[in-house]
Structure 1
Amino acid sequence: MKNILITGGAGFIGSNLALVLVEKGYNVTVLDNLSPQIHGEDAYNNSFLFSRIKNQVEFIKGCVTSKEDWIRSIKSQDVIVHLAAETGTGQSMYEIEKYTSVNIGGTAIMLDLLANTSHSVKKVVIASSRSIYGEGKYWSSELNNVVYPKHRTDEFMAIKDFEVKIDGLSSPLELVATDEDSKIHPSSVYGITKQNQEQMIMTVCPTIGISPVAFRYQNVYGPGQSLSNPYTGILSIFSTLIRNGKEINIFEDGKESRDFVFIDDVVDATILGIEKEEANGHVFNVGTGEAIDVITVANELIKNYKINTEVIISGNYRLGDIRHNFADLTKIKKILGFSPIYNFEKGIKKFTEWVLTQDLIESKYDVSISEMKNKGLFK
């Protein structure tokens, strides 16, 4: 299986994956629309991500919502790595038609073509997301059992009560790692679309003789991620604010946490999914298995940039945000032999070193917050 199509292959994950696959001897085709939100204006000349791959792969500028672009792209491919998606959790709550059209509709067009036309595709790898879990997995000592809290409500968050709750329980819940069998209950439109993508791939592909693999990526970061996109990527958003001398507004109480996984580890895991038959038919978490809170994120960035920045823990919050989630990696370690190489401290060092080599850009974060505030989603 030497011919690989990467949709969204000019993006952060896709471009890094493409370069490693080319180095390993694969023939890589990239389908990407070069979205200005990710690449800025005039991507052909100014996009860092696109500049890395444009002479290394066969590039097709197009969109996954176009049947004609899919037909051009699928021709002669052995593997499809489907990364193309709209990715902003908060933005998805008001750009609903766009997110469902691209993420669900684009996947539907691909599967329809695979089911009804001649092709050579043998495997499809889908980029799923930790967002499909919604709130994470918890242990209740009171019930002596695992519990999955419902989404937090405006009623409690408005009085600065940010922890998750289970009705009828008085004792605190203990956060535990989310495994692949955990409850799926996304709290955003983005999460819903990723759940649909994953389920469509895992359901349809086996019926038409194609091996499916799904990766539920945690919060991916590293050199090359967009520093201009104000809708996703807390590390990029904070980095741009710090370098522009602006204060950092930390939402809630700053104790909300995520599993931050370095791009090189994500690429390694994805290639294992492409190359190993043992991956076929399985869904895997990809993360570090470590929960890092937002206060720690801000402090580590400030330390690495050596720039004094005011950090305000404001109590602001966004409806649809989860409190905690981090990955259980037992399954991917057992079946694929994957273990992350980068812990948070090591990864942040490499990320900030790269950021400091990039031109300083104006932060557009306030624009994204204003949009959410106008929609009643930011409080």
Structure 2
Amino acid sequence: MKNILITGGAGFIGSNLALKLIDKGYNVTVLDNLSTQIHGDNPEENSFLFLKIKDKVKFINGTVTSKEDWKTAIAEQDAIVHFAAETGTGQSMYEIEKYTDVNIGGTAMMLDLLANGQHSIKKVVVASSRSIYGEGRYWSDDLNAYVYPKHRTDDYMSAGDFEVKYKDIAKPLQLVATDEESKIHPSSVYGITKQNQEQMIMTVCPTIGIAPVAFRYQNVYGPGQSLSNPYTGILSIFSTLIKNGKDINIFEDGKETRDFVYIDDIVAATILGLEKEEANGEVFNVGTGEATDVITVANTLIKNYDADTNIKISGNYRLGDIRHNYADLTKIKALLGFEPKYNFEIGIRKFTEWVLTQEIKESKYEDSIAEMKEKGLFK
């Protein structure tokens, strides 16, 4: 396989993957609509992500909701890496039609063309998400079993009780790594759409002679990610607040955790999925296998920026947010030989060094919070 189509290839992950594939001798085509939420105004002249690939790929300014754009993009390709999607759990809870049309509808359109048209596609790699799990996996001493709590409800969180519950068990549950066999029960529309994308590709592709691979990415970060998009990525949100001299409002009690995975590790895993036959027909977690709480994130950023930012742990919360989730990497290590090279300390240092070289972006975070509050999702 030499010709690779990356949908959403001008985005954060896609552009980094494109450059690495080009270095390895692949021919890369990018289909992307240069969304202003990600790329800012006048993206063809000002987008850092787009400009670094502009002269190195065949670029199609189009959308995955257009059949004609898909036909143009698929022509003469050997593989598709499907990244194009609307992202952000909070925003997905009130832009439901948009998320469904792009994420599910766009994927359905691609598969319909592959199933019914002439092409040379041999493999499809899809960006799935840890969000399909909803809350992560836990161990219950009372039941002597793994359990999968439902998403948290307003009545508990409004009383300041942020930990997950499982039926009538009173003893605290023990958080453990979430593996690929864990229960799928997304707690946001975004998570539902990623579940649908993954399932459609893993179901349809084998029936038409195409090898499918799905990667359930954890929280991806690194140099080049959008510092102006207030809907995804607390590292970007907190960094922009700090650089604007604003305080940080930490939701809940600040002990909620995520698995933060550095962009270079995501790219490396994705290329393994493209190149290795062992990946065919498989679903993989991609992360670091480590859980980092939000207080640690905020304090590390403030330290690395040498800032005097104040932290407020407010008890605010967003409906649809999960409490904890981090990846079990046993499968991807065994089948693909993947090992993350960047722990949080190293990755966050490289990220903050890059941020310090960037122009300070206007914080739109307050506007996003007002929008979610208006929709009844922010408390």
Within a 5 Å distance, the mapping from 1:1-379 to structure 2 comes to: 1-379=1-379
Deviations 1:217-268 (A, max 9, x none): 0000000000000010110000000000000000000000000000000000
Instruction: Give identity over the alignment, percent.
Output: 79
Deviation of 1:189 (Å): 0.1
Deviations 1:114-145 (A, max 9, x none): 00000000000000000000000000001111
Question: Secondary structure of the equivalent of 2:89?
Answer: coil
Deviation of 1:110 (Å): 0.1
Question: Secondary structure of the equivalent of 1:215?
Answer: strand
Residue type of the alignment partner of 2:143 = L
Question: Secondary structure of the equivalent of 1:53?
Answer: coil
Question: Secondary structure of the equivalent of 2:353?
Answer: helix
Deviations 1:172-200 (A, max 9, x none): 10000000000000000000000000000
Aligned equivalents of 2:170 and 2:196: distance in 1?
A: 35
Deviation of 1:103 (Å): 0.2
Residue type of the alignment partner of 1:347 = G
Residue type of the alignment partner of 1:222 = G
Aligned equivalents of 2:243 and 2:42: distance in 1?
A: 24
Deviation of 1:170 (Å): 1.4
Aligned equivalents of 1:134 and 1:184: distance in 2?
A: 7
Deviations 1:86-107 (A, max 9, x none): 0011000000000000000000
Deviation of 1:167 (Å): 1.7
Residue type of the alignment partner of 1:26 = Y
Deviation of 1:168 (Å): 1.6
Question: Secondary structure of the equivalent of 1:29?
Answer: strand
Aligned equivalents of 2:309 and 2:168: distance in 1?
A: 42
RMSD: 0.3
Give the length in aligned residue pairs. 379
Aligned equivalents of 2:15 and 2:167: distance in 1?
A: 45
Listed as ranges, the gaps of 5+ residues in structure 1 are none
Using the size of structure 1 for normalisation, the TM-score is: 1.00
Aligned equivalents of 1:276 and 1:137: distance in 2?
A: 29
Question: Secondary structure of the equivalent of 1:4?
Answer: strand
Residue type of the alignment partner of 1:154 = D
Residue type of the alignment partner of 1:202 = M
Listed as ranges, the gaps of 5+ residues in structure 2 are none
Aligned equivalents of 2:249 and 2:71: distance in 1?
A: 45
Deviation of 1:151 (Å): 0.8
Aligned equivalents of 2:360 and 2:316: distance in 1?
A: 27
Aligned equivalents of 2:307 and 2:56: distance in 1?
A: 37
Question: Secondary structure of the equivalent of 1:327?
Answer: coil
Deviation of 1:166 (Å): 1.1
Aligned equivalents of 2:114 and 2:221: distance in 1?
A: 32
Which piece of structure 1 moves more, 165-174 or 369-378?
A: 165-174
Question: Secondary structure of the equivalent of 2:327?
Answer: coil
Structure 1 segments, 4+ long, off by >6 Å, are none
Using the size of structure 2 for normalisation, the TM-score is: 1.00
Residue type of the alignment partner of 2:337 = G
Deviations 1:323-373 (A, max 9, x none): 000000000000000010000000000000000111011100000000000
